[in-house]
């Protein structure tokens, strides 16, 4: 089944699986990508991100299912169109530039193979040097460039042949923090300006947010969620998505009102209301109570005094905690707290919270995410 509609589909992955020996790295993956769209693939190490990218690139063959590019079948278990015939270019984490070739020769490499005329080649390369701020560096060899400059050359080289689709495999992970932030914003701007379609694999949710029209969140060879960054952020479809979306405080409890619009979870002796974004109609369990998890973003917890709340937590949607430790993070403070039932909770706050102090934290109703154990595949 496909997940986007319209007749402008560039990439169509249908029921694709891939195993290495007995290990199934991808399990029946289906998705479609529109022309000009940027999809960022996120997920924990080993979930199958690179395997998926390699199948789209043509570097590897699926065991089942079909991959179409621009309407043409490029891969099944029985047929494989090679990478150079797919109109797809890839940018790797380690840049993979030719070390003995100048910046200019690296960028021209693909164009020469296409046998492009000298005049048109000069125009294209000139545009790319300008777009990627590489003017003046044409004659340098890659080892004479900084990491950021090498990455720009790799992007220019990949763009030069005007591919249908750019594949980016952790393109910024070798750069320092400041440069990563700068480059991801520049890349997002550049690809949108050129209308380039991009399939982008990353570990970094911030990079995905900066770049993507849609996020593809994977876990254990499956798609957990495919949606806009805003929707993934507001309604993470699984506890794994929630954790990637910053809600990594995880408290164990007992769900006591799953059928309500604002279900209730009991954490120790306190009851908390939240939402169940993974709940699809008809899947609510008939059991009246069940084990569950409450997931929260540390930045969205509001410390209040114990007097402001109620003992069972119901008045303010609050949890009683004791601060264990607090450290300064530059602009804010990060405290580690413990709930009355001994579970750990991180709180990010503008002012320090004193170690040893007992207090309550007020929880936001719309982003107190509750998941059932059944949701954990």
Q: Which of 20, 79, 189, 376 binds ligand ATP (CB under 6 A)?
A: 20
> Considering the rule CB under 6 A, would residue 125 count as an interface residue with ligand ATP?
no
Residue 329 class from Cβ within 10 Å (0-12 exposed, 13-18 middle, 19+ buried)?
A: exposed
Give min distance, CB of 151 to ligand ATP, in A: 18
Q: Which of 10, 16, 47, 301 binds ligand ATP (CB under 6 A)?
A: 47
Q: Which of 9, 10, 11, 25 binds ligand ATP (CB under 6 A)?
A: 25
Q: Taking a C-beta distance cutoff of 8 angstroms, is the pair 168, 201 a contact?
A: yes
Tokens of 112: 């020469």
**Which one, 49 or 214, has the nearer CB to ligand ATP?**
49
Number of residues interacting with ligand ATP: please give it, by CB under 6 A. 12
Q: How far is CA 369 from the centre of its chain?
A: 19
Part in contact with ligand ATP (CB under 6 A); list of ranges 17-25, 156-164, 303-311, 369-377: 17-25
Give min distance, CB of 18 to ligand ATP, in A: 8
DSSP string, 246-299: T--EEEEEEES-TTSSS-EEEETTEEEE-B-TT--TT---SSS-EEEEEEE-GG
**Which one, 48 or 142, has the nearer CB to ligand ATP?**
48
**Which one, 49 or 297, has the nearer CB to ligand ATP?**
49
Give min distance, CB of 264 to ligand ATP, in A: 36
**Which one, 201 or 359, has the nearer CB to ligand ATP?**
201
Residues 156-215 that bind ligand ATP (CB under 6 A): 203
Part in contact with ligand ATP (CB under 6 A); list of ranges 20-28, 124-132, 145-153, 241-249: 20-28
Part in contact with ligand ATP (CB under 6 A); list of ranges 39-47, 227-235, 261-269, 369-377: 39-47
Per-residue burial over 213-233, b = 16 or more CB atoms within 10 Å of its CB, e = otherwise: bbbbbbbbbbbbbbbebeebb
> Considering the rule CB under 6 A, would residue 45 count as an interface residue with ligand ATP?
yes
- Which candidate, 57, 61, 58, places its Cα nearest to that of 91? 57
> Considering the rule CB under 6 A, would residue 50 count as an interface residue with ligand ATP?
yes
Give min distance, CB of 198 to ligand ATP, in A: 17
- Which candidate, 8, 4, 12, places its Cα nearest to that of 62? 12
Question: How far, in Å, are 119, 182, 310, 315 from residue 318 at the CA level?
Answer: 69, 39, 8, 7
Part in contact with ligand ATP (CB under 6 A); list of ranges 6-14, 38-46, 85-93, 273-281: 38-46
**Which one, 241 or 367, has the nearer CB to ligand ATP?**
241
Helix extents (H) in the chain: 49-57, 103-113, 118-131, 147-160, 177-194, 205-211, 229-234, 239-244
Give min distance, CB of 35 to ligand ATP, in A: 25
* β partners of residue 221: none
Question: How far apart are alpha carbons 345 and 73 in whole angstroms?
Answer: 49
**Which one, 170 or 375, has the nearer CB to ligand ATP?**
170
> Considering the rule CB under 6 A, would residue 94 count as an interface residue with ligand ATP?
no
Indicate the Cα dihedral angle 190, 192, 195, 197, nearest 10°: 100
> Considering the rule CB under 6 A, would residue 49 count as an interface residue with ligand ATP?
yes
> Considering the rule CB under 6 A, would residue 90 count as an interface residue with ligand ATP?
no
**Which one, 55 or 368, has the nearer CB to ligand ATP?**
55
- Whose structure tokens read 């294209």? 124
Q: How far is CA 286 from the centre of its chain?
A: 34
Kindly list the residues in this chain that would bind ligand ATP in the complex (CB under 6 A).
20, 23, 25, 43, 45-51, 203
């Amino acid at each position: 089944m496909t997940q986007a509609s319209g007749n402008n589909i560039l990439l169509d992955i249908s029921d694709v699986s891939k195993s290495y020996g007995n290990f199934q790295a991808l399990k029946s993956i289906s998705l479609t990508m529109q022309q000009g769209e940027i999809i960022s693939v996120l997920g924990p190490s080993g979930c199958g991100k690179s395997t998926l990218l390699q199948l789209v690139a043509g570097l590897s063959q699926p065991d089942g299912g079909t991959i179409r590019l621009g309407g043409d079948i490029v891969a099944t278990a029985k047929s494989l169109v090679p990478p150079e015939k797919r109109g797809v270019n890839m940018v790797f984490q380690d840049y993979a530039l030719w070390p003995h070739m100048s910046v200019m020769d690296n960028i021209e490499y693909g164009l020469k193979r296409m046998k492009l005329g000298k005049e048109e080649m000069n125009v294209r390369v000139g545009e790319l040097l300008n777009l990627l701020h590489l003017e003046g560096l044409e004659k340098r060899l890659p080892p004479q460039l900084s990491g950021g400059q090498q990455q720009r050359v790799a992007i220019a080289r990949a763009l030069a042949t005007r591919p249908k689709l750019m594949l980016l495999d952790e393109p910024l992970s070798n750069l320092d923090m400041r440069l990563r932030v700068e480059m991801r914003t520049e890349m997002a701007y550049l690809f949108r300006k050129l209308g380039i379609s991009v399939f982008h694999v990353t570990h970094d949710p911030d990079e995905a947010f900066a770049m993507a029209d849609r996020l593809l969140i994977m876990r254990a060879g499956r798609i957990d969620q495919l949606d806009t960054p805003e929707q993934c952020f507001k309604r993470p479809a699984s506890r794994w998505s929630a954790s990637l979306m910053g809600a990594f405080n995880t408290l164990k409890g007992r769900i006591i009102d799953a059928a309500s619009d604002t279900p209730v979870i009991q954490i120790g002796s306190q009851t908390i209301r939240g939402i169940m974004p993974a709940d699809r109609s008809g899947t609510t369990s008939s059991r009246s109570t069940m084990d569950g998890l409450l997931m929260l973003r540390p930045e969205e917890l509001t410390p209040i005094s114990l007097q402001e709340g109620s003992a069972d937590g119901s008045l303010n949607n609050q949890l009683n905690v004791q601060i264990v430790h607090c450290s300064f993070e530059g602009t804010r403070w990060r405290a580690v707290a413990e709930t009355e039932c001994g579970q750990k909770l991180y709180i990010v706050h503008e002012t320090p919270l004193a170690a040893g102090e007992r207090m309550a934290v007020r929880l936001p109703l719309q982003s107190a995410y509750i998941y059932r154990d059944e949701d954990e595949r």
